[in-house]
Amino acid sequence: MLCFYQVSQRALLTKECRLSILRISLLFALVAFASDLQAERSVEDEYKALLWKTAKIIHQYYVEEVHPDSLAQAAVRGIFNSLDPASEYTFNARTQLASEDPARLLNDRFYTLMQMAQAIDENAFYPVTADTLVRFGIAGMMEILDPYSVFLEKRNLDNFNIQTQGKYGGLGFRIQVVYPDSAIAVWSLVHDQTPAALAGVKSGDLITAINNTSTKGMSAGVAADSMRGEPGTSVTLTLERADRPTPFDLTIERREVQMNSVSLATLFPDGTGYIKLDSFQKGSTREVFKAIVELEEQGMERLIFDLRKNGGGYLEEAVQITDLFLPRDCLVAFTEGRRIETAEYITREDALLRDTPLIVLVNHMSASASEIVAGAIQDWDRGLVLGTTTVGKGSVQQIVHIDDRAELKLTMAAWHTPSGRSIDRRMRKDSTLVRGYDKEFKTLRLERIVRGSGGITPDIEVSGRSGSRLYVQLSGIYSLNNQFFYYAREHRLKYPDLTPDFVVGPGDLSAFRAFAENRGFDYISELEAQVEELDKVAEGEEYNQLAKPLSHLTDEIDKIEEQHWQETEDLIAWRLTFAILEKAFGEPVAEAYNVTVDPQVLEARRIIADPSEYQMWFDKGEIGTPAEDSIAQEDGRGDLQ
């Protein structure tokens, strides 16, 4: 068999001549045996093997078959586009007497790719390491897969272990970059027994150096890497605190930090219990079980189970948690894949809460294991789902070990709810929806109509808080200049005797506005932004004609912006109260306040406390409508240390 590839690339030859053209034309006669991959080449064998192993795993186990040519072309695109995004290239494959064996064909294609990488390494004007080429090639292959298939190197593995196992070697606080300080801020402490909390770190501190390395201009991810490490080792932080005249150092010993997956469990005065589950990690079932038992001992009559912003985790934990609400031998979910056997997940124990009224809260950030639980509760008509449509991540990923430096989290199967529906909103990595079927299914007890392929649609659609332009600017969502953070930081020092039942009042709102404006905050309404844009583009006579009408708008803009401040008061009061409590007492106290004013929680409490209305929703014959074309995916929580 002879196989020929030709790759042409326009790239930079020198810094002085950006329009110069480098054309790499490769024509190789290949032999098709795997032993040829061991030939001596300039690209190091360890990196070559990493690229080869990754391609082989994708080809063998991905949920959908990927042709070897597609993988090879994707790797080439990744290499060339990453070296020079403005470049152009052509990729042509000509095969003579092509082998019908896909494994052998894959071998042929990637032998050629290694030869191409060698040619780039030898001919590129600027130095290109083998590590760089391999990273770009793997990134190219991952781009043609679904968004949940991820190549995990050491740092990503650390983050993945935190999400799934709930523990890591670190200090125990969340961070974010804040401006204008360009510093790493201690956003919140995970709990009061973390190494950082016990050493004296406070929410609101600014980290100006890590082990004597300045954090100015440092990303949150790099800072996180610098502070994490093996338990028992130490790290020195240089901190700035509002009540300290000069920076000071704290040396903290890293410990294994355990993250609780149940962030809040509380009983409202009307007998409604509330449990917030942040993730499905090892031990989550035990935490939920404990929370339910304690709430029942306090007199719980009904339960709101909050899975909003819960991105998932271990499938086994999702099944076991569902087991707390459904009778023994109920189907929770089943999975189907190209190379793995169909598996069914069944409840094994009698329900802890078999008949207690139940509402599950979800939103556009509830995914995977959260959708398994919500889907099973809905399909068995065990409880109601309230909120907004979920992500639609109906796929199963498994971790495949590549070597000591990397693993591949690869989608190998799709899962289905008990009614048989797949809720997978199939998305490519560019966020384009791949249309599925909005096929109708029926719930198992009441035979209500439900649909697949677009996430879990709630029985009761209730939106969460909606922001405003003013709120976004105050929050620093785009500028990272968060006025709530800085005000709460100062407030904690000014009022050291603050109690956990604190709520912002009118005087606090006035003080906050004055504080923000003194720090240079200037609210720009949409109208003002449009006027400023007109002012920029108008020239000469056009400017003279526009100047007078535009000047008359100034007073109108001031009135509109003042009205926006008044209309946003409730939203500002909520966010300011949350920020102050979080800085003064930590996340649990802030979350306990939040659920007392959360519009979705309030609506769930109202419905579940009224037996007739609660039952009315089960009497409806149909749930939801066909899937929409897009979905928001965002998270504002800081990186964990």
Predicted confidence (pLDDT) per residue in 208-222, tens digit: 999 999 999 898 889
Helix (H, G, I), strand (E, B) or coil at 499: coil
pLDDT bin (cut points 50, 70, 90) of residue 85 is low
Work out the average pLDDT over 124-150: 80
Q: Nearest-CA neighbor of 421 among 384, 449, 386, 383?
A: 449
What is the CATH code of the structural domain delimited by 167-258? 2.30.42.10
Q: Nearest-CA neighbor of 68 among 111, 131, 115, 8?
A: 111
Q: Which of 202, 276, 309, 393 is catalytic?
A: 393
Crossing angle of the two packed helices 102-123 and 45-61, in degrees rounded to 10 = 150
Question: How far is it, in rounded angstroms, from Cα 359 to Cα 302?
Answer: 9
The answer to whether the pTM exceeds 0.95 is no
**What's the pLDDT at 133?**
78
Question: How far is it, in rounded angstroms, from Cα 243 to Cα 302?
Answer: 46
Q: Are strands 460-461 and 384-387 parallel, antiparallel or unpaired?
A: parallel
The yes-or-no answer on residue 424 being catalytic is no
Question: How far is it, in rounded angstroms, from Cα 237 to Cα 239?
Answer: 6
Q: What is the per-residue burial (b if ≥16 Cβ within 10 Å, else e) of 434-455?
A: eebeeeebbbbeeebebbbbbb
How many whole angstroms from its chain centre is CA 55? 26
Quote the percentage of the chain above a pLDDT of 90.
Answer: 50
pLDDT bin (cut points 50, 70, 90) of residue 402 is confident
Domain boundaries, the chain: 2-145, 167-258, 262-463+625-640, 469-597
The yes-or-no answer on residue 368 being catalytic is yes
Q: Which of 146, 306, 323, 379 is catalytic?
A: 379
Structure tokens belonging to residue 560:
């509109």
**What's the pLDDT at 1?**
31
The yes-or-no answer on residue 379 being catalytic is yes
pLDDT digits (tens, 9 = 90+) for 87-101: 555 555 544 444 556
Lowest-confidence region among 9-18, 161-170, 357-366, 401-410: 9-18
Contact call for residues 172 and 189 (beta carbons, < 8 A) = yes
Contact call for residues 197 and 191 (beta carbons, < 8 A) = yes
pLDDT bin (cut points 50, 70, 90) of residue 50 is confident
Range among 115-124, 388-397, 440-449 with highest mean pLDDT value: 440-449
Lowest-confidence region among 22-31, 56-65, 522-531, 584-593: 22-31
Higher pLDDT, 373 or 536: 373
**What's the pLDDT at 90?**
54
Q: Which amino acid is at 324?
A: L
Tokens 């032999």 label which residue?
31
Question: How far is it, in rounded angstroms, from Cα 631 to Cα 437?
Answer: 17
Q: How many other CB atoms sit within 10 Å of the CB of residue 541?
A: 8
Q: Which of 368, 419, 453, 475 is catalytic?
A: 368
**What's the pLDDT at 124?**
59
pLDDT digits (tens, 9 = 90+) for 278-314: 999 999 999 999 999 999 999 999 999 999 999 998 8
pLDDT digits (tens, 9 = 90+) for 545-580: 666 666 677 888 999 999 999 999 999 999 999 999
Contact call for residues 341 and 321 (beta carbons, < 8 A) = no
| 262-463+625-640: CATH class | alpha beta
Question: How far is it, in rounded angstroms, from Cα 165 to Cα 433?
Answer: 31
The answer to whether residue 13 scores a pLDDT higher than 80 is no
Question: How far is it, in rounded angstroms, from Cα 310 to Cα 541?
Answer: 57
